[in-house]
Chains A and B, each alone.
Chain A
Amino acid sequence: MGALLGVLPFFAYTTIFLAIPTIIVVVGAFLDGRGHPTLGNLRALAQPQVVSAFVRSTVLSAVTATLGAVFGALLAYAVSTAREGGLLRRLVTSLCGVLAQFGGVTLAFAFVATVGFQGFVTLWLEHLGIDLAGSIWLFEPYKGLILVYTYFQIPLMLIVFLPAVEGLKPQWGEAAESLGGSTWDYWRHVAGPILAPSFIGAMLLLFTNAFSAYATAAALISQGSPIITLLIGGTFSSEVILGQENVGKAMALGMVAIVALVMTIYALLERRATKWLGR
C-alpha cells in the first residue's frame, strides 16, 4: 500500500485534468442533442464518409510515423556519433526540439510558400525545366499532408529516440568487432534488439501525433474533411449543419479505440523484441 502512495500525485493530477475531461467526452458521445441517452452517434460512425476518414487518417499516420521513425532514427544515430557536448549535437537537438512542435497555420503557409503553385522551389524548378507534377498535389491528403507531417515527425523522433541511442555503449560495438562480427552483425544482434522497444515506442508516439493533428491539416485542406480530425472539427464549428457535436465526441471515442488497438499491437511487438534479449 505504501508503494501506491508514490504514484498518488500522478494519478490524482491526471484524474482531475485528464480522466474527468475524457469521461465527459465519452458520456457526451452517448447523448443526443437533448441530453437523452442514445446509440445514434455511434451508428453515425458507420457512414461511408466517416469510415473513409478514419481509414485515411490511419494510413496517413502510419506512413508518416514510419518515415519519421526511419529518418529520425538515422539522424539520431548520426548525431550520437558526434562529440558529446559538441556544437553539432546541441544545434541539431535544439533545432529538432523547436521543429517538433512547429505546426498549424504557419507551417501550412510556409510549405505553400515553398512548394505551392507560386512557391519559390516550384518556380526555381520550373526555371530548370522540371514541372512539379503540375497538379495541386500539396493539397491532397496522401501526397501533400505526408510531406508536411513528416516535417515535424522527423524532429520528434530525434528528440524521443536520442536518449535510447546514446545508451548504446561503445564497448558493445568494440566487443562485437573484436569477436569478428561485421557492422551488420552488430546491428542485427546487439544494437537492434536493444533499441527495438524504444524505436517501436517512439513510432507509436509519432503515429498518435499524426493521428490527432488538426491545425496544420485544417489550414492546408479546408475543403471536404478528408481526415477524421477535420471531420470532428466540422461537427463543432459548422455554422451550416448544427447539432452534431455529440457525433464529434463519438468520433473522438473512435480515435481512442484505434489508438488503443495500435497500442496493443505495439505491446505485443515489444514483448517479442524483449524476447530476443532473453531478459
Chain B
Amino acid sequence: MKLRAARRRRQSTFRRVVVTLIGLFFALPIVGMIEFTTRAPGGGRTLDTWATLFNLGVIDRDYPELKTGIQASAGLVVLTVAIMLFMLVPTMTWVRLRLPGMRRLVEFVCLLPLTIPAIVLVVGLAPVYAWVAYFLGESSLWLTFAYVVLVLPYAYRALDAGLSTIDVRTLAEAARSLGAGWPTVMWRVILPNLRTAVLSAAFLSVALVLGEFTIANLFSRDNLQVAINQLSKRDASLAIAAALAALILAFTVLFAMSFVGTGRGSSRREEA
C-alpha cells in the first residue's frame, strides 16, 4: 500500500515538473506575439489592436475577406474530419482483420502526402482540381479533398497507435459470433474502444485544416490563413492578433471536442 502511494507521489511530481517545463517552452513565443500586438506608439501597452479585432462591424466592413475565410475554414473542418474518419477508420480496421498483407502498402500511401512538399503537390493536383471545378464548381469547400489527403499521415499514425493496443481480432470475432453485422461491429464495438485515437486523429485534422495555408493560397481560394495573410499586408499588428485569435479558437474547438464520447462507458482500463 505504501509502495503504491509513493509511486503515485513520484508520478505526480514527475507530471508537474514535465508539464511545467515544456509548457514554459510552448508559452514563450506566444508571449512574444502578445507583446507585439499590445505595443503602444509611445512605449507602454495598449489593447487597441485587440479591440479592433473583436469589433465585428469594422471587420465586416474593412476586412470582408476575414469573414469569408472563417466561414470557408469552418466548412472545411467539418467536411475533412467527416471524410477522413468515415474513410480511414473502417479501412484500417478492415486491413488489420482481413488483409494484413496490405498493411505496409496502406502505411506507405498514408505517409506519401507528407513526403511531397505542398508546393510540388499543387503542381500535380492542378489538373485533378480542374476536373473537380468542372464537375463540382469552384467553391473553396472542395479543398477538403486535398486536405483529407494531407491529414492522412497524421490520422493514420494516431489511429494505428490506438488499434495496436486493442485486440481488434478478438473484439470483432466476439461481436460477429454474437450476431452483429459489420456496421454494428464498427460503430458500437470498435469505435468506442478507439476513442482516444479517433479524437487524436480528429484533433490533428481540425488543427491542420485551420492552419493550412499553402494549398489554399496557390489555388487562389479563401480560407482562414489566406485571409490572415491578406490582412497582414495591410496591418501587421492586426494580422498577428488575428493569428493568435485563430490559435485560441482552434484550442477552444479542440477542448470542446475532448468532451465528446465521455460517459459512454469508456471503461477500457477495467477490462483485463
Tell me the A residues contacting B by CB distance below 8 Å: 3-4, 6-7, 9-11, 13-14, 16-18, 20-25, 28, 71, 74-75, 78-79, 81-82, 84-85, 88, 90-95, 97-107, 109-115, 119-121, 151, 154-156, 159-164, 166-171, 177, 197-198, 201-202, 204-205, 208-209, 211-212, 214-215, 229, 232-233, 236-237, 245, 248-249, 252, 255-256, 259-260, 263, 267
Contact = CB atoms under 8 A, between A and B. Distances in A.
B94 A94 contact: no
A92 B19 CA distance: 8
B87 A21 contact: no
Contacts of B88: 10
A17 B116 contact: no
Contacts, number: 273
A22 B124 contact: yes
B204 A6 contact: no
Interface string B1-31: 0010000000110110011001001101111
A106 B206 CA distance: 18
Given A97-B206, A215-B213, A79 B15 contact: yes
A103 B211 contact: yes
B108 interface: yes
Given A114-B28, A151-B25, 9 more contacts: A3-B98, A7-B102, A17-B146, A97-B254, A104-B213, A163-B197, A167-B161, A236-B120, A255-B117
Given A22-B124, A84-B269, A100-B207, A212 B114 contact: yes
Give 10 nearest A-B pairs by CB, closest first.
A167-B165, A21-B124, A113-B32, A110-B29, A97-B203, A114-B32, A101-B211, A101-B207, A94-B254, A6-B94
B111 interface: yes
Given A18-B149, A78-B19, A164 B203 contact: no
A255 B116 contact: yes
Nearest to B213: A104
B153 A7 contact: no
B183 interface: no
A245 B250 contact: no
B15 A82 contact: yes
Given A163-B165, A232-B120, A252-B116, A17 B125 contact: yes
Given A7-B91, A28-B123, A159-B204, A90 B255 contact: yes
Interface in B196-223: 196-197, 199-200, 203-204, 206-208, 210-214
